Amino acid sequence: MEMHWHWLIVIYLFLGGLGAGAYLTSFAAEKGWLGSNSRLKKVGYYIAAPIVAFGTVLLVFDLGQGLYKPWLLVRLLLNFGSVMTWGVYILAAFIVVGLVKAFLVFKNKQAPEALGWVGAGLALATGAYTGLLLSVIEAVPFWNSFMMPILFVVSALSTGLSVTTVVAHFMEKQGSANIKENQVHLSLVAAELIVVVIFFGLMSLGAKGPVGAQSAASVVSGPYAIVFWGYFIALGLLFPLVVFVLENIHLKQSAQKVVAEPSLTETESSAKAQSGHQSYLVLVSDFSVVVGGLALRALIIFAALPIWDGTIL
């Protein structure tokens, strides 16, 4: 069977998660969940809404009528029973709230506490939506799994943290990278690996029938195996996992070393423990997390097989 959705949709779903994850990264940093003095407090806010908005523009290009009769797009708000309609509302609201929040952060103005939380809720909804859009399609067993939104949200958080880290490395002067951030990312990558194993395990075992197993096989051992094992598993998950673990050990050791030197004051020691710069290896692994996230979206879209292949015996 021919595919109906192609690269534009893949990139749109990927960017939706990436932007949502970037927002949540800065939100977490602002709340102090990524360690004190994090350098990720602003950058994620700046890039979140533009990333999602760019993805949405791509989607418009993919619509058969996007450039032909664009006024029809208003009707996308009509069917409250359609997940795609939910998505239009969620994305539109997220882009608006994201831009307002970014503007206030840029102006160093105190944004209302509620605004930040609403944005975080919408970001989570955006990430979940990209998976939910697929998971409600019963005629595509590979998509029709409750794991799909979970997988996409975890990947969104991970890729969002990565892209924010990379951009912050080049753009942000204030704050520093620290062990908390490293630990959060380590657990996200580990969680994604677990979700992926469960998802493909269940699919392969036929939890969604023979067609779901066939889709899974095309990814794990079929035509998409190179993208799956190479780009997604090795580059997107295992390589970053190893780098983050090594970085974690390194950061802990240097923290101990500092404690062993009593001449330093407490603030000095903690500042030294949180080494100011990300190592380049960590930056490379962040980049490969993002590539892995894109590969994941591509695999999920392209490996979709319909429940009926349109033939009879």
Partner 1 sequence: MDSMKNIIISRRKVLKAGAVATFALALGISPTVLNADTAQDAPKNPDQLGFMYDQEKCINCKLCAKACNDTNKWEEGAEWRRVLVGKEDSKNFLSYSCNHCEKPACAQVCPVKAYRKREEDGIVVQNPEVCVGCKYCMYACPYHSPQFSPDTGRISKCHFCYERQDQGNKPACVSVCPTGALNYGKLTELRKTSSGVAQLEGLPNPELTKPSWVIIPKA
- Interface with partner 1 (CB under 8 A): 1, 4-5, 31-33, 62-66, 68-69, 72-73, 75-76, 78-79, 81-85, 88, 121, 124, 128, 131-132, 135-140, 143-150, 153, 304, 306-308, 310-313
Report in angstroms how near the CB of residue 252 gets to partner 1 at its nearest: 18
Report in angstroms how near the CB of residue 250 gets to partner 1 at its nearest: 23
The answer to whether the beta carbons of residues 121 and 101 sit under 8 Å apart is no
Report in angstroms how near the CB of residue 34 gets to partner 1 at its nearest: 12
Between 103 and 200, whose beta carbon lies closer to partner 1?
200
End-to-end C-alpha distance for the chain, whole angstroms = 16
The CB density around residue 251, as the number of other CB atoms within 10 Å, is 21
Distance CA 112, CA 49 (A): 18
Report in angstroms how near the CB of residue 87 gets to partner 1 at its nearest: 8
Q: Is 9 left (phi over 0), alpha (psi -120 to 50) or beta?
A: alpha
Between 106 and 308, whose beta carbon lies closer to partner 1?
308
Please name which of 248, 233, 231 lies closest in space to residue 282, comparing C-alpha atoms.
Answer: 248
Report in angstroms how near the CB of residue 313 gets to partner 1 at its nearest: 5
Please name which of 178, 207, 195 lies closest in space to residue 296, comparing C-alpha atoms.
Answer: 195
Distance CA 77, CA 309 (A): 32
Which residues have C-beta within 8 Å of that of residue 167, sequence separation ≥ 6? 43, 47
Between 144 and 285, whose beta carbon lies closer to partner 1?
144
Between 9 and 48, whose beta carbon lies closer to partner 1?
9
Distance CA 278, CA 271 (A): 14
Between 263 and 311, whose beta carbon lies closer to partner 1?
311
DSSP 8-state class, residue 82: -
Between 255 and 282, whose beta carbon lies closer to partner 1?
255
E strands present in the chain? none
Report in angstroms how near the CB of residue 79 gets to partner 1 at its nearest: 5
Query: Helix %, strand %, coil % for the chain, to 5?
Result: 75, 0, 25
Between 40 and 150, whose beta carbon lies closer to partner 1?
150
Report in angstroms how near the CB of residue 280 gets to partner 1 at its nearest: 30
